[in-house]
Amino acid sequence: MAKKMLHFLWFVVILSVLRVCTAVTPESYLLQTYSLPSDLNFMPTLGNGHLGYTVFGDSIFMNGVYNGPAGNSKRARIPNWLNITTEVCDRFGCATDADVAVNGTSYEMDLRDGYFRSKTTYNSLGLSIEQRTYPHKFFNRALVYEVVASRSTAYGTRANSPQFLRLSQHPGNASDAFEFVVVSNGSSASGDYRTIRGRTDIIEFERFQQQPQEIYIIFSQSLEEPLQLEWPTWQAEVRHRVIICIDREQSVALKELQDVLQLNANSMLQRHTDAWHNFWDRDFSIELVGNVLELSQIINAGIFYLASSLPSLSTNQVNEPFYGLSPTGLGRGNLEADYQGHNFWDTEIWMLPVVTHFGFEYGKQVLDYRSRKLEAAKYNARSKGYKGARFPWESAYTGTEVTNPCCPEVAQQEIHISPDISFALQKFFAHSGDYAWVCDKAWPIAAEVAEFLVSRAACEEFRPVCHLLNVMGPDEDHPDVDDNVYTNAVSKIALEFAEWAGEMCGNDSTELFEKWRRVSDRLLILHDTALDYHPQHVGYVVNTTIKQADTILLGYPLQYDTRTTHLNDLRIYSNVTRESGPAMTWSMFATNYLTSSQEWLGHEYFERGYKDYVRPEFKVWSETPLGFEGSANFLTGIGGFLQAMIYGYGGVNFVRDNNKTTMILRVGMSPLNVDEVHVNYLRYARNTCRWVFGPRFSNMDCGVRSGAQGTFEMVQGKKRTLLGRSFNVTLVKGDEPVYISYLE
pLDDT the model gives residue 90: 87
pLDDT tens by residue, 138-160: 999 999 999 999 988 655 444 45
pLDDT of 17 strictly over 50 = no
Residues 6+ apart with CB under 8 A from 500: 656, 658, 659
Mean pLDDT value across residues 371-377? 98
Contact partners, residue 510, CB within 8 Å, separation at least 6: none
| pLDDT value, residue 335 | 84
pLDDT of residue 162: 66
pLDDT of res. 91: 84
Q: Averaged over 60-83, what is the pLDDT?
A: 97
pLDDT band at 161 (very low <50, low <70, confident <90, very high): low
pLDDT over 70 percentage in the chain: 95
Strands in 163-169's sheet, in edge-to-edge order, are 93-94, 84-90, 163-169, 227-231
Give the DSSP H or E segment for 135: strand 127-135
- Partners of residue 660 on adjacent β-strands: 657
Q: Report the 10 Å Cβ neighbour count for 458.
A: 12
Determine contact, residues 263/271, Cβ cutoff 8 Å. Answer: yes
Per-residue pLDDT, 189? 76
Write the pLDDT tens digit of every residue in 95-109: 888 888 778 899 999
| Sequence ranges of the domains in the chain | 32-286, 343-525, 538-644, 674-743
Residues 6+ apart with CB under 8 A from 247: 50, 141, 215, 216, 253, 256
Question: How far apart, in Å, are the Cα atoms of 342 and each of 183, 326, 361?
Answer: 31, 5, 22
343-525: CATH topology is Glycosyltransferase (1.50.10)
Q: What is the pLDDT of residues 632-659, one digit of tens each?
A: 999 999 999 999 999 999 999 999 999 9
Per-residue burial over 637-650, b if 16 or more Cβ lie within 10 Å, else e, is bbbbbbbbbbbbbb
Summarize pLDDT for 385-397 with one digit per residue, the tens. 999 999 999 999 9
Q: Between vectors from CA 171 to CA 619 and to CA 122, what angle results, nearest 5°?
A: 65
Domain 32-286 and domain 343-525 have a common topology: no
DSSP 310-333: SPPSS-SSPPPPP----TT-TT--
| Residue 4, pLDDT score | 44
Residue 32 predicted with pLDDT over 70: yes
- Judge if the upstream peptide bond of residue 681 is cis by omega within 30 degrees of 0: yes
Mean pLDDT computed over 61-81? 97
- Which residues are CB-neighbours of 25 under 8 A, at least 6 positions away? 110, 111, 112, 113
Q: Is-above-0.75 flag for pTM?
A: yes
CATH class assigned to 674-743: mainly beta
Provide the pLDDT for residue 6: 44
Whether 350 contacts 654, CB under 8 Å: no
pLDDT tens digits for 438-453? 999 999 999 999 999 9
More confident residue, 361 or 709: 361
Average pLDDT, the chain: 93
Residue 102 CA to residue 403 CA, distance in Å, equals 48
Q: What is the CATH number of domain 32-286?
A: 2.70.98.50
> C-alpha dihedral over 217, 218, 223, 225, to 10 degrees?
70
C-alpha distances (whole Å) from 92 to each of 48, 161, 379, 685, 742 are: 42, 9, 66, 67, 73
The pLDDT, as a whole number, for residue 541 is 97
The answer to whether the beta carbons of residues 619 and 302 sit under 8 Å apart is: yes
Distance from C-alpha of 546 to C-alpha of 534, rounded to nearest angstrom: 14
pLDDT range class, residue 123, cuts 50, 70, 90: confident
How many whole angstroms separate alpha carbon 431 and alpha carbon 424? 11
